A and B are shown apart, each in its own frame.
Chain A
Amino acid sequence: MSNFEIVKREDFSDVTYLLEVRHPLMARAARPGQFVIVMLNENGERIPLTIADFDRQAGTITLVVQAVGKTTREMQQACKTGTHLHALVGPMGVPSATTHAKKVVCVGGGLGVAPIYPQARALKENNAYVIGVLGFRNKDLVFWEQKFRAICDELIICTDDGSAGIKGLVTEGIKQAVARHSDIDEVVAIGPPIMMKGCADTTRPFGIRTMVSLNPLMVDGTGMCGGCRVKIGDEVKFACVDGPDFDGHRVDFDDLMRRLKRFTKEERLALEHWEKGCRLQKQIDAAAVSPGGGSE
């Protein structure tokens, strides 16, 4: 099928990196809004990552990863061009609807900038008027600006410190877009839960339909474990098979954020355990090299 070879790696910053993985079948099947589950190695955990792009000609899918926990940091070290992932399964989840709206605000915050791209592109291909709103902490973390300019009718960059675009959160960008356009059909927001919550709160008074892409903890990604259950209005839904897109005005974000902390303690333990291993390895490497004075 595919041996999940990484054909391209690009680093956006100290913590954010892009991986292009060869998987022709998946590149063909993927639709905006879907995600994959990745395992780095045999001992690894299964982590969900939203598909940031797919290239049907080249037969690749693109993932943009932020090194925040043990697995994503280990991937940052291990995933180089020419290496392989242990497992990659997808595309998972219900694709986003991209044909119904005439004027859409596509909001991406931090890591959410990458996965909002294929949605914005698909909306543009379906002749929608696309307003991009991208949020970063500062100028140095900005990526894919040109890529977005090529497909957006308007693009608003927001930074926390004002070093690029406007100063403020993405919600500020949404407010500007809403002030300029009275006929926005939909806002699509992808990013950290707190950001998506802010977006939903911003659009609620205007009654603009707001879709968000939820990122709860998952194991299988096929509806089997229920770890990714989220509260949508009065209902319990599984993000992996019923989502990941939901109506942001009905999502219980507080529940989502609480559930994301389920394994905080274990995550810290795993990171410490791994860092200890890394330090030991460094010492071993150093010891192996130093005595002879560099026998390369």
Chain B
Amino acid sequence: MLEQAPAARARNFQEVACGYRLEDALREAERCLLCPDRPCVAGCPVGIDIPGFIEKVGRKDLRGAYDILTDTNLLPAVCGRVCPQENQCEGVCTVGESLESVAIGRLERFVGDTAIREGWANIPYIEPNRYRVGIVGSGPAGMACAADMAKAGCDVTVYEAFHVPGGVLRYGIPDFRLPNEVIDAEIDNLKKFGVKFECNTLVGRLFTIEQMIGEMGYDAVFVGVGAGYPTGLGIPGDSLNGVLSANELLTRCNLMRAKEFPNFDTPIPLGRRVAVVGAGNTAMDAMRVCLRLGAEKVYCIYRRSRKEAPARLEEVHHAEEEGIEFNWLTNPVAVLDDGSGGVRGLRCVRMVLGEPDDSGRRRPVPIGGSEFDFECDIVVYAIGTNANPIMGQTSKLKLNKWGYIDTDDDLATSVAGVFAGGDIVTGAATVIEAMGAGRKAASSMKAYLGLRDPNLPYLVDADAGDRPFGIDRRERNFVRVRMAET
């Protein structure tokens, strides 16, 4: 796939990966063996019929490919960009056993982008069932749940605390990985399903979950508010000006458009030398944002080695290409004060990997006497988040010992009619996992409301070909209503 050259892209917010042209997509689609065991489908958190859509791409039937994708995935243009495919579908691809795996994500993005460009939307025929469903949070979990419930005929309202919908897709993931137009297009699709969005609404404080299922008359509620609440390191100098969370940096830059300050009012701390602590996707985004904002030097500080870094390989690779200096096996011990409340540098210690810990990863241990200082003026923490406390403060939802919402296997919470999924249940994870949780919760909500789940018979009859029970798949599945055939 074409990419912007590292030197050029590190100074702009345009998308890094330019996407496939038709001929690239056709060539890549041809590489799929259409193998019978379809490991990729099982590897996908939402179970996309991957060989099915790739086959359609190979036959230049992009609309058909889009139909298959939207059977199970609401946001192909988003997921094609941000899913960690190497750990999912592409990680188990049969071709990948001997050659490079089929680039499933890129093909998915190609189809999703084509749909946006062509204005395709698979608006199903929806029979209203008069159930009202409230969704708290408009991020990937909420959007996926909203789509499924709207397709099932429910009257769906999504509440968002920010002034624009999209959740982490909007405030967290930078434009060069996921352009705003893509999010807008996917949200517009949801609106076409009849989903209503109410922004500027802080559920819990403006009204509670209990009020939603009580006086406000919602028959079921899904809570997908995300994790939030970034953690600090708890080292000296933590609270100096110039130390901030990746969430804050990214929100200022992406959502509030601080990169266009002062034409937009929100300021952003600009650093000449920036140290980002952590090596997850959020850390990579933060580093690359700082480069684009004009930092001369951006360092990554991570206490384990490259192998353990939780970020997608592609993201680490892109960051390396753009000139981020990686300091593996390095742990900060103090942020150094410049004497006027700002940051002068970071004191770190070198680490070595010891015995495996509970997570199975080798535990990093400090090397005695290896402390060193280096100069920087901004320190960004991208080391994870704790549970956001608002739901716990304002509702009777049972929480687990870490403060995340407690659910059963069906994602039902301790309050009847209330379901939850995504980061507020599992802790920080990926966009596609949140979407998977949103869809799973939708399935449970349908069972709770006594609605027929259009996905269930179709999964059971997967072998029955295109016309199980003599009914055309497309007529049961709320995908594109077929035109009359002669």
Contact = CB atoms under 8 A, between A and B. Distances in A.
A172 B230 CA distance: 40
Interface stretch (A139-147, A157-165, A192-200, A215-223): A215-223
B239 A236 contact: yes
A219 B249 CA distance: 10
Nearest to B168: A224
Prevailing SS type, chain B contact patch? loop
A136 interface: no
Interface in B363-415: 388-390, 393
B198 A223 contact: no
Interface string A263-287: 1001101100110000000000000
B264 interface: yes
B201 A89 contact: yes
Given A1-B200, A29-B205, A225 B232 contact: no
Nearest to B198: A1
Contacts of B264: 43-45
A225 B248 contact: yes
Contact of A266 (B202, B244, B245, B261): B261
B241 interface: yes
A199 B248 CA distance: 32
Given A45-B266, A46-B266, A26 B230 contact: no
B390 A224 contact: no
B184 to A, nearest CB: 14
B229 A224 contact: yes
A87 B389 CA distance: 23
Interface stretch (A108-116, A126-134, A254-262): A254-262
B390 A71 contact: no
Interface in B223-240: 226, 228-230, 232, 234, 238-239
A55 B244 CA distance: 38
Contacts of A168: none
B14 to A, nearest CB: 21
Contact of B248 (A26, A227, A269): A227
A241 B389 contact: yes
A226 interface: yes
Contacts of A1: 198, 200-201
B393 A220 contact: no
B207 A220 contact: no
Given A39-B163, A219-B248, A220-B251, A263 B267 contact: yes
Contacts of A39: 163
Given A25-B206, A219-B252, A266 B228 contact: no
Given A1-B198, A236-B239, A263-B267, A220 B205 contact: no
A99 B277 CA distance: 44
Contacts of A226: 229-230, 232, 244-245, 247-248
B256 interface: yes
Contact of A225 (B199, B200, B230): B230
A255 B269 CA distance: 18
B119 interface: no
Given A39-B163, A92-B202, A222-B202, A258 B248 contact: no
Contacts of B269: 262-263
Contacts of B96: none
Contacts of B267: 45, 263, 266-267, 269-270
B200 A88 contact: yes
A70 B393 CA distance: 34
A124 to B, nearest CB: 24
A79 to B, nearest CB: 15
Nearest to B240: A258
B486 interface: no
A286 B80 CA distance: 54
A27 to B, nearest CB: 11
B161 interface: yes
B360 interface: no
A269 B266 CA distance: 11
B205 A92 contact: yes
A270 B261 contact: yes
Interface in A21-53: 25-26, 29, 34, 39, 43-46
A92 B200 CA distance: 11
A83 B230 CA distance: 36
Nearest to A258: B341
A71 B266 CA distance: 10
Contacts of B201: 1, 89
A46 B256 contact: yes
A29 B206 contact: yes
A195 to B, nearest CB: 21
Contacts of A70: 265
Contact of B266 (A34, A92, A219): A219
A94 B393 contact: yes
A224 B205 contact: no
A277 to B, nearest CB: 10
A4 B229 CA distance: 28
B36 interface: no
A31 B388 CA distance: 21
B263 interface: yes
A92 B251 CA distance: 19
Given A87-B200, A261-B241, A222 B161 contact: yes
B162 interface: yes
A224 B137 CA distance: 13
Given A25-B207, A43-B257, 7 more contacts: A43-B263, A45-B266, A91-B205, A92-B205, A220-B171, A236-B238, A266-B261
17 contacts: A29-B207, A44-B265, A45-B256, A90-B202, A219-B252, A219-B256, A219-B266, A220-B171, A220-B251, A223-B389, A224-B230, A224-B247, A226-B232, A226-B244, A242-B389, A255-B239, A270-B267
